[in-house]
Amino acid sequence: MSNGMLGMTPDEQAAFRAANRSGEVYTIHGVFFGLAILSVCARLGAARHSRRKIGLDDWLAVVSLIFIVGVFTGTMFWLKFGLGRHEAVVQEEDPLNLMHFYQTIYANEILYPMGLATARLSLVVLYQRIFGLFSARYYLHGILVFIGAWAIYATIPTIFACTPVQNFWTTHKNCIELSNLYISIAVGSIVTDFALIIIPIPYVMRLKLSPFKKALLISSFVFGGLNCFITIVRLIKVSTFDYSDPTWGTVDLMIWTGLEAYCAVICCCLPTLRPLLNMFRCGIGFKDSERNPGEMSHPVYLRMPPKVASRSSEEALEEYNFVAMSLADLQQYSRRLTLQAVPALPSLPTLPTLTTLSTHHTTVVDSRS
């Protein structure tokens, strides 16, 4: 009899052996992993539908999905090696199960932060395309540095958490305090997500829009940072899970870890899906040529007051030449919003024709005569 079942009655032992939460893990991970795949595919489809060139933010979302595929695969191995059942039962089936379980954790702790980091980088690059000409660029550059530092902090200490490395899945000796490391990683993750929620708000509030339209536009960006709330729940699970029975006590933690990873991909794609929503709302096959006569045929972009920009006067003069390039993405989220169009540049004065010059020359000669 395993030490974990000493002192139990036969009925208690039977219940202990039968306890299994793997179904919860299969269901939650499967559903949200599928949604993550669909969100990236929808993002690329939205770019194609709006004839927008695939940008760096889109590619970062694809890279993030690749890392998340690794997280999902690792979860399936966790289940194979005993996640959702008690350690004593898992060890009875195969003494190597627990070692393989920790090896899978080791691999996941490398893939998981990289997936989160690339998803957040995708969102930051999207913000740069939208607000890159304005003072937000300074905050966005700072977040880029912070995300890079966070990714390094989340992976390097995990790789070398034990000396030698294989102690992580064998003896667990000569290892750093992993619980404190995981808590600090989660705190950094929350700070990043919260910053991604806050940054767009002041710039959208300066737009000349009705309160309803501002709220609608802000919601497009806030959805990108909603992963913050999942990270908070995961932080609670990190600080309270049961180390004495890892295959059973970490079920909730593994569920929320997967949710955080999958929702990071989903949330970074949500702000870009407006074209598909418009397509389904207006009917499949909606094209520019099918617009209503009163609807503008040229792109409509957001017009920011010059005081928003922290630039030189020469650059400010060029603001409305480049604002269309910088804010082109916002057309996808606001096709149905009535926004003020970028004013056309004044036309250049007409150059004098040769006939005019000839007449002027004749007049000058006659006057001299």
Look at residue 200 and tell me whether its pLDDT is greater than 60.
Answer: yes
Look up tokens 């929620």; give the residue.
197
Mean pLDDT score, 282-293: 46
With bands split at pLDDT 50, 70 and 90, how would you rate the model's confidence at 82? very high
On whether residue 332 sits in a domain, the answer given is no
Q: What is the pTM of this model?
A: 0.74
- Quickly count: other Cβ atoms within 10 Å of residue 254's Cβ: 25
On whether residue 234 sits in a domain, the answer given is yes
Structure confidence at residue 4 (pLDDT)? 64
Q: State whether residue 162 is helix, strand or coil.
A: strand
With CA atoms as reference, report the closest residue to 154 among 117, 125, 191, 126.
Answer: 117
Look at residue 24 and tell me whether its pLDDT is greater than 60.
Answer: yes
On whether residue 316 sits in a domain, the answer given is no
With CA atoms as reference, report the closest residue to 60 among 11, 128, 108.
Answer: 128
Domain count, the chain: 1
Comparing 265-269, 278-282, 314-318, which segment has the lowest mean pLDDT?
Answer: 314-318
Phi, psi (rounded to 5 degrees) for 9:
-75, 165
On whether residue 93 sits in a domain, the answer given is yes
Look at residue 191 and tell me whether its pLDDT is greater than 70.
Answer: yes
Residues 6+ apart with CB under 8 A from 152: none
CA distances from 6 to 9, 10, 27, 78, 247 (A): 9, 11, 33, 26, 18
| Bridge partners, residue 162, by sequence | 175
On whether residue 68 sits in a domain, the answer given is yes
Segment of 52-66, 228-242, 288-302, 344-358 carrying the highest mean pLDDT: 52-66
On whether residue 337 sits in a domain, the answer given is no
CA distances from 102 to 79, 97, 98, 169, 272 (A): 12, 9, 6, 5, 38
With bands split at pLDDT 50, 70 and 90, how would you rate the model's confidence at 130? confident
Q: Which domain holds residue 149?
A: 21-278
pLDDT digits (tens, 9 = 90+) for 210-224: 787 777 777 777 776
Mean pLDDT score, 5-30: 88
On whether residue 13 sits in a domain, the answer given is no
pLDDT digits (tens, 9 = 90+) for 83-108: 999 999 999 999 999 999 999 999 99
pLDDT digits (tens, 9 = 90+) for 150-183: 999 999 998 999 999 999 999 888 888 888 888 9
Check whether the bond before 157 is cis (ω within 30° of 0).
no
On whether residue 138 sits in a domain, the answer given is yes
**Between 259 and 228, where is the model more confident?**
259
In the chain, the amino acid numbered 360 is: H
Structure confidence at residue 132 (pLDDT)? 65
With CA atoms as reference, report the closest residue to 217 among 333, 82, 50, 318.
Answer: 333
